[in-house]
Every structure is written in C-alpha cells, then in structure tokens.
Amino acid sequence: GEDVEQSLFLSVREGDSSVINCTYTDSSSTYLYWYKQEPGAGLQLLTYIFSNMDMKQDQRLTVLLNKKDKHLSLRIADTQTGDSAIYFCAASGGPGAKLIFGQGTELSVKP
Amino acid sequence: GAGVSQTPSNKVTEKGKYVELRCDPISGHTALYWYRQSLGQGPEFLIYFQGTGAADDSGLPNDRFFAVRPEGSVSTLKIQRTERGDSAMYLCASSPTGGGGDTQYFGPGTRLTVL
C-alpha cells in the first residue's frame, strides 16, 4: 500500500523560507495535500495539488510536485512564529479515497 | 457555518470497558471519515461512510471496533473491550461528496485514554 514519509523536524529563523519535504510510494496517488496541526487544534487544510500539476502557489505557500521522483515539497515564504506547528503531507488515490498521512514535520520558528 | 464537531473532547476509561465517540459532520456533507492518531504519528484511516453505508472499513484494526451512521449525518465510533493500546486521538472528517479532490474537513478530535 501507499507509504508517505517526511523528515521529523525543521528549525528556521523568523523571516527565512521553510521547505518541508515529503515522499510517497504509490504513483497512482491523484491528490496530494498539506495539513497543519497546532497544539490542541484539529487538522487544517493548507493546500493541495492534483497529480497533473507541477506547482501551485497560494500567497506565502508554494507546493512543488516531482511525479517522477514521487517527491512533494511545501515552501513557506517569510516564515513567522505563528507558522510553528506540525505539518502533514497526505496522499489520496481519488474519489472517496482515504488520506494516507506522513508522520508529520514539526516546524519550529525562532525569533 | 459550523465545522465538524466531536464529543466528548476527552474520554478516560478503564481497560475492558465499552466506549462511544460521536461525530457531527458539516451539514450536507455526504462523506464521513474516521482516523486514529497516536502520539507522534500521522492520522491513520479507520473507516469511510458514503451516506449511511460504510464504503471502506479496511482500516478498522479488529472486530472490537465498529462505526455507524444510521441517518447519513451523525456517526458513532464504538470500541468494545477497550485495551491500553487503543489510547489515541480519534479524528473525524467530512467532505461534501467524497469525490476526487474533495477537501476533508477535520474535527478537533476525541482524546481517548484507556487506563
């Protein structure tokens, strides 16, 4: 079955860019998602990308997809302390399909 | 409008007891999902409902776990003979149709602790 992997920790300075990486194994994954989880809060969808796209930009967020290498990244420009959270990459095979999550990357933003 | 709500927010029980966790999806959403998140891990899929029926229950770990959605809205996850290993955050999500690219909106979760 699908396996999604992420690095566990990332630490950046406020104002720098953050890049969170994710790899997945199932080439039939149709949709790839980034969720944010803050302590005591539910999962918040940040953005998603369809597998026929290479890039998607939404304000400070840029998602890059390399289908050949099955690699997904999330870039956060001008990272703020409020961006400190755990970021989850998730893959889905299509309609009604369950989300397969990575183990999450804890982003720490230092002032 | 109101998001996905889950009750209770915390549940502490003793090993061997029966528990029920409730999920109220966003009004009008036909698709409903249950996930389980252990500490330090990503959420793991348990079951997916389309309307009243369980369309995919492949993630339920064993027959102690059961979920229902009798009227196609509220769902209840039921765990019999709880074990300490069942301790986790149980997350519910709903989406408008369950179609491809549909956004799944998550509730705040129920933290279950089995003593």
Residue among B68, B28, B27, B34 at smallest CA distance from B48: B34
CB–CB contact A42 B55 (8 Å): no
Q: What is the pLDDT of residue A94?
A: 64
Q: Name the interface residues of A facing B (CB cutoff 8 Å).
A: 4, 30-31, 35, 41-45, 48, 50, 88, 90, 92, 94-104
A60 pLDDT exceeds 90?
A: yes
Contact flag B45-A90 (C-beta cutoff 8 Å):
no
Task: Enumerate helices (H) and strands (E) in chain A, giving the number of each.
Answer: 0, 11
**Residue A81 confidence class, pLDDT cut points 50, 70, 90:** very high
Confidence of residue A8 (pLDDT cuts 50, 70, 90): very high
Cis link prior to B70 (omega < 30° from 0)? Answer: no
Residue A97, SS3 per DSSP: coil
Q: Please state, in angstroms and rounded to a whole number, the distance separating the CA atoms of residues B56 and B49.
A: 7
Sign of CA dihedral B98, B105, B39, A69: positive
B103: closest chain A residue by CA: A45
Mean pLDDT calculated for residue range A90-97: 77
Task: Show the low-confidence residues of chain B (pLDDT under 70).
Answer: 1
pLDDT over 90, % of chain A: 72
- Chain A contacts in chain B segment 47-76 (CB below 8 A): 48, 50, 55-56, 59
- pLDDT score, position A96: 66
User: Could you read off the pLDDT of A64-79 as tens digits, one per residue?
Assistant: 999 889 999 999 999 9
